[in-house]
Structure 1
Amino acid sequence: MSFTNKVVIVTGASSGIGAAIAIAFSSAGANVAIVGRNETKLSAVAAKCKNPLVIIADVTKEKDARAVIDETIKKFGKLDVLINNAGLTVPASILQGDMMKAYDTIMDINVRAVVQLTTLAAPHLVKTKGNIVNISSVAGRLAPAYPSTINYNMSKAAVTHFGKCAAVEFAEHGVRVNTVSPGPVYTDFLSNSKSAATWEQYKAGNVLKRVSEPDEIADLVLFLASDKARGITGSEFVSDNGACIKRAAQ
């Protein structure tokens, strides 16, 4: 797949899935704007891309979100693909009394930032008849395995449904919107969230007994963003090593 002369924004590009997506698009010829908060990590990703636009930004802040779009258009003159990938989790539960602070933090970046960036990018994507790929999670399909992840699961359910809703509104303009929902992927997500879960537990939780690499998710994202997927919109694609079917069978 070639993305020569295409312009792509990838949020949460400083590590993990976002980094893999940014590098894959760059390797396929795209002009990539890589967005993140960690300058050191983002610089390491930039070194693996060809002439990327590096944007240090907190996408939960409206000023920063606007800057992401404005700087991309100023540099490249257009926008073809928006990858809403930035996200996090904060352990909390209803009964422990720390639910609402974690709720606001998670919803702010996992959901509100996705909606806001999509809204800001919309007029530019309409011009190019571009497309959007939102990175959700199979957590959005499932009740939490651990009570402390309730907010994360809710946020990802919202991201997945937003993709379907946005696809309806964008359709008449020729803009596609799709969602990728990974299962377990080797990233720094566990360490960042200070989760007690282990990769071995995640392996045991799916029928293929494995954890994906970030480039597997990147491959799927590039397919959905390409002309090969020109008839696909409002869809959710799951890459979870069979985690959902294992849970359903239990």
Structure 2
Amino acid sequence: MERAPTHGAQINVKPEIRAKLRLIDHLIATQRLAEGDLLISEFRLPNKKRRVDLALFTTSRAIAFEIKTEGDNLSRLSEQVKDLSTHFDKVIVFCAHKHYNNAKKLVSKSIEIWSYNDKKTKLLQRGRSNIKNTKAIIELLPKYERHTIKNRNDALNKIRKKFRKNIELFWKIRSQKKNCDLKDLISISRTPPKDQTKKTSDDLWTSIIEDQSSQSSSESISDNSSS
């Protein structure tokens, strides 16, 4: 049986962040997320105020996750998944178990539903993939980046290239520990730096890696001293 990760000492982080870390751990544990795949937290949809709680881009698919914690209400869920379904090949609602019955009433059978509690994550409604056409995927990119795109694979590759540093940093941090923590979430929340801020953004990425490496070294020294 799958055990819920503790995420170290981060017992007081906000519920939505804990849920997001829990989801990322589940994706990796169930091999739905492979090294090199792109995860982006709070991915903004073009021409809309809507953001995707967690977006997953593989070499061939775009998947959106809508997260609902115990403290959330579902009043906008139908509208949210409708917007996501316009651009993503698959939409998955990741909700606290108490919301399952209501969520099932609010979304179509094409939407997948996973529920979670303190002990495990369960698939409760198996949705369907609806592979989007080139136009739907291209529209995930800013208008000024669309003119060179010829097909949906080009669009997916463009998105992955745009967030290449996020991919590299996320998987570098993941290789150093078992469960996700806030550093992982920071690494996939950072937007690609613009030219004038590139040095600052790169410094932030570097500091996260160095801090994590320093922590790992300290733990190793401590273990050797106690042996």
Whether TM exceeds 0.5 here: the answer is: no
What is the TM-score with the length of structure 1 in the denominator?
Answer: 0.25
For normalisation by structure 2, the TM-score amounts to 0.27
Between Structure 1 and Structure 2, whose CA radius of gyration is higher? 2
